[in-house]
Amino acid sequence: MPGLIGKKIGMTSLFTEDGKNIPCTVIEVGPCVVTQVKTQEKDGYEAVQLAFDEKREKSCTKPLLGHFKKAKTNPRKKLVEFRGFSDKLKTGDVLTVDFLENDTWLDISGISKGKGFQGVVKRHGFSGVGGATHGQHNRERAAGSIGSSSDPSRVFKGMRMAGRTGGERVMMISLRVVKIIPEKNILIVQGSVPGAEGSYLTIEQ
């Protein structure tokens, strides 16, 4: 599925033509440079590698410097492979937000915000184990029973319990394109996308 690489700028809200106020996410998309074109004969599969967001040469390893030099571009921070490009692209081509269209639907994925160690209420949406009217005073957010005692005499694998949450790859599907600002490489989609401001996103059509 063809796509582009972007960076989350932040959130805002826009009014539709019928007066509805909708929450939106502002994303900087491209320009993305084609740094490698993989073929079935040479690599075993077909894909296009895109690079986004320039960085200093001193922050880049020598193998990557050679890779970017071969593509005739400056070092980049983010590299992502995409499959399914119908257009024949070659190394050095530049893709911008013009590749996308208004009133289409996109799948956007990224790394969600890390929340650290959290309990079951925040991590899994548990409601707690009752109120204080039954004599308890400090167990409102507890997980409750996690299994039987005599049989099976163990805790089943995958039991939802407290632990580290967030910091995982999340995909939001079917987000509508509200507005495209080509001169600033800006894409505005309806709804929220994973990650903090400044984090990288993969935008697939």
Kindly provide the b/e burial profile for residues 106-126, where b requires at least 16 CB atoms within 10 angstroms of the residue's own CB.
bebbbbbeeeeeebbeebeeb
User: At a CB cut-off of 8 Å and minimum separation 6, what does 119 contact?
Assistant: 141, 143, 162
Q: Are 86 and 106 in contact (CB under 8 A)?
A: no
CA distance 78 to 192: 22
pLDDT score recorded for residue 138: 76
pLDDT score recorded for residue 155: 92
Report in angstroms the alpha-carbon separations of 95 from 90, 144, 184, 185.
11, 53, 14, 11
Long-range contacts of 39-43 (CB under 8 A, 24+ apart): none
pLDDT score recorded for residue 144: 85
Largest CA distance in the chain: 72
Residue 90 DSSP SS3: coil
**pTM flag (> 0.85):** no
CA distance 181 to 30: 12
pLDDT score recorded for residue 131: 66
pLDDT score recorded for residue 130: 67
What is the chain's pLDDT, residue by residue, as a tens digit (205 residues)? Answer: 688 999 999 999 999 888 899 999 999 998 999 999 998 899 899 999 999 989 998 999 999 999 999 888 899 999 999 988 877 888 888 999 988 888 789 999 999 999 999 999 999 999 877 666 767 777 888 888 888 888 888 999 999 999 999 999 999 999 999 999 999 999 999 999 999 999 999 999 8
pLDDT score recorded for residue 128: 78
What CATH number has the domain spanning 3-128+158-204? 2.40.30.10
Is the sign of the CA dihedral 80, 81, 86, 87 positive or negative? Answer: positive
